[in-house]
Amino acid sequence: MKGILIKEALLVPLDSLPREQLWFKGDLAIEGKTIKEVGANLQDKYAGFTVLNGRDSLVIPGFVNCHTHAAMTMLRGYADDLPLMAWLSEKIWPCEAQLQAEDIYWGTQLAILEMIKSGTTTFADMYFYMEQTAQAVLESGIRASLSRGMVGSGDKAGLALRESEEFIKTWQGKGEGRITCLFGPHAPYTCPPEYLQRVMALADDYGVGLHIHLAETLQEVAEVSQQYGMRPVELLDSIGFFQERHVLAAHCVHLSEKEMEILVKNKVGIAHNPESNMKLASGIAPIPQLLRQGAVVGLGTDGAASNNNLDMLEEMRTCALLHKVATMDPTVLPSRLVLEMATKKGAEALGLREVGSLAPGQKADLLILNLHEPHLTPLHDPVANLVYAAQSADVKTVIIDGKIVMKERQMLTMDEEKILFEVQKRGCKLAKNT
């Protein structure tokens, strides 16, 4: 096969058009792993390419899920309607202690299956038994930024450092570059400054970044402030955590003006997780203020135990509506901006330069969505329809790294029935034993 040509679709490049022109009708050529050309009437120029009919279809960059815990699909619906700290300490952590390596593999397979079927082509993950997660990524064809979660207190703190280092040595750049790695200290309240400095030194040695939960709850802010005399972002800044390295900070819900300035100044990637923050009543992150100051903000779902799905279409809609009502301003976070957060800005938050738009030379990570549906008719504004009306079932074809991984809703790289069977079996056993 010479390449792929998507013919006569509505294209939303997010890079190659002026801001006032969000979409146009045309063709997109893929050669190898990358987008070769975006334009009109390209069929004669790319004779011999496999043609995908784009009529009644919308083509957009693949979604980038900036923060999740993939294998927590095993705990979906297990511990609902609790505040974060009780949810973690009384339910999630005891249950996670029962998880085995194979549970992580199958839970991650389920998460990837769900993500691809709802349009996610890249995700950032932090969990444990990360070799199993990486193997699932390798087999499925998805792109991922992976971190072994690290708690810096207790007798396993040193083990977490060693396992993280070994994981990065083994997996960085695997899957023909689809797998990238970060060090993953869990949070300032679980990782003391001395431990974080050891993690920072390792990250610098390996030339990779850091993925951390930050300022997620008022309780976290109170605990850190009482112990260290500084708020969480201020504490990290005081030890140089953000300096001269890439940092992905999940949540960032409770921030002072000074903390927002620190994050913006250091170009910290912020993963906004509105649905998880709403469900756990953690609060509403000051995203409009952060964006006005020039912050790099992407969208994430968090894990399926606190969301309870991994659907970025839902996350976009929730994000837009939440901030409109929170600010009492219907013009806040317009549809184009939210789409950028779910794609282009999300890739930037992860430090990925080659995904997030439909520009020539970019990796061919993209979606074809069916527009011929009642809930997407009439089509006054395809971007607004995408953010406010589209459903995961509208995603009909997914291409990652130039390879078709789902075509017309049929998975080509994963055994869907086997995954559903294995996770149901293991999930029932897990609930029975905890």
- Which CATH number belongs to the domain containing residue 384 in this structure? 2.30.40.10
pLDDT at 16 over 70: no
Instruction: Let me know if residue 434 belongs to a domain.
Output: no
Say if residue 252 is in the same domain as residue 384: no
Boundary of a domain, candidates 332, 349, 366: 349
Say if residue 193 is in the same domain as residue 313: yes
Contacting residues for 3 by C-beta, under 8 A, at least 6 apart: 29, 30, 31, 32, 36, 46, 49, 50
d(CA 73, CA 130): 15
Average pLDDT, the chain: 96
Boundary of a domain, candidates 349, 377, 399: 349
Say if residue 330 is in the same domain as residue 187: yes
Residue 109 tokens, joined = 């397979």
Confidence of residue 20 (pLDDT cuts 50, 70, 90): low
The SS3 of residue 40 is coil
pLDDT at 374 over 70: yes
What value does the mean pLDDT take over residues 302-327? Answer: 97
Instruction: Let me know if residue 216 belongs to a domain.
Output: yes
Q: Which residue has the tokens 């999940």?
A: 250
pLDDT of the residue at 19:
59
Say if residue 204 is in the same domain as residue 334: yes
Number of domains the chain contains:
2
H helices present in 97-216, as ranges: 101-117, 130-140, 157-171, 193-206
pLDDT at 141 over 80: yes
CATH number of the domain where residue 285 is located: 3.20.20.140
d(CA 214, CA 237): 12
Q: How far is CA 87 from the centre of its chain?
A: 22
Say if residue 53 is in the same domain as residue 70: no
pLDDT of the residue at 430:
83
pLDDT at 17 over 60: no
Instruction: Let me know if residue 426 belongs to a domain.
Output: no
pLDDT at 381 over 90: yes
DSSP category for residue 54: -
pLDDT of the residue at 397:
98
pLDDT digits (tens, 9 = 90+) for 149-160: 999 988 999 999
Say if residue 43 is in the same domain as residue 125: no
Task: Please give the residue range of the domain that contains residue 374.
Answer: 4-61+355-411
Say if residue 220 is in the same domain as residue 248: yes
pLDDT of the residue at 135:
98
Rg of the chain's alpha carbons, rounded to an integer? 21
Say if residue 299 is in the same domain as residue 195: yes
Say if residue 286 is in the same domain as residue 365: no
pLDDT of the residue at 260:
98
Say if residue 278 is in the same domain as residue 366: no
- The answer to whether the pTM exceeds 0.85 is yes
pLDDT of the residue at 88:
86
Instruction: Let me know if residue 43 belongs to a domain.
Output: yes
Say if residue 337 is in the same domain as residue 226: yes
12-16, 121-125, 186-190 — which is least confidently predicted? 12-16
